[in-house]
């Protein structure tokens, strides 16, 4: 049998009593004050950055295979991100909290599998594949998530 020390029990009760749920109006005001970023804007940014990385890689080296390698790295981020965005913004994901969590983990698994699939396919499809260029394309395109956070609309002052 497990017993809880009296001090611990009192602290737990105090912490629970401090919590007050938001009303619908308060939740709406909070969402308006801190708007979220659409995942589709992030995917669009990844497409632009991925294309730029591929073109710059090709232009700097003068080798088409390096540009294709960087492009495959970018695709290994863009395609899974688009699938994920479609999955988590779908109708099933918004039914209730449980389906939202399930949808998130399911589409995250899909992202991982598709990423690995694209990287393995690139190895077979791109003649003279440059792994460093592909990794540069992958990493730079992945950093768009941070750029999106940097350009997120700032919360309004209280």
pLDDT value, residue 48: 94
Choose among 37, 22, 54: nearest CA to 137.
54
Tens digits of residue pLDDT in 50-91 = 999 999 999 999 999 999 999 999 999 999 999 998 888 877
Total number of domains constituting the chain:
1
Containing 130, the helix (H) or strand (E) segment is none
pLDDT value, residue 1: 54
pLDDT value, residue 87: 86
Q: Tell me the residue range of the domain where 122 lies.
A: 63-153
The answer as to whether 126 is a domain residue is: yes
The answer as to whether 45 is a domain residue is: no
The answer as to whether 142 is a domain residue is: yes
Residue spans of the chain under pLDDT 70 = 1-17, 92-95, 152-158
The answer as to whether 7 is a domain residue is: no
Report the C-alpha gap between 152 and 30 in whole angstroms: 16
The answer as to whether 39 is a domain residue is: no
pLDDT value, residue 118: 95
**Position of tokens 């992202």?**
111
Contact 142, 76 (CB under 8 A): no
pLDDT value, residue 39: 83
The answer as to whether 138 is a domain residue is: yes
The answer as to whether 81 is a domain residue is: yes
**Position of tokens 């589709």?**
40
The answer as to whether 129 is a domain residue is: yes
Contact 35, 153 (CB under 8 A): yes
């Amino acid at each position: 049998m497990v017993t809880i020390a009296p001090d611990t029990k009192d602290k737990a009760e105090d912490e629970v009593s401090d919590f007050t749920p938001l009303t619908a109006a308060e939740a709406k005001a909070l969402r308006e004050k801190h708007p979220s970023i659409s995942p589709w804007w992030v995917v669009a940014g990844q497409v632009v950055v991925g294309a730029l990385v591929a073109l710059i890689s090709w232009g700097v080296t003068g080798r088409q295979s390096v540009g294709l390698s960087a492009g495959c790295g970018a695709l290994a981020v863009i395609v899974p991100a688009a699938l994920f965005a479609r999955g988590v913004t779908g109708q099933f994901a918004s039914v209730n909290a449980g389906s939202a969590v399930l949808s998130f983990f399911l589409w995250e698994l899909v992202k991982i599998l598709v990423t690995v699939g694209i990287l393995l396919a690139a190895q077979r499809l791109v003649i003279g594949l440059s792994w460093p260029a592909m990794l540069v394309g992958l990493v730079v395109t992945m950093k768009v998530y941070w750029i999106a956070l940097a350009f997120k609309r700032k919360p309004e002052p209280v």
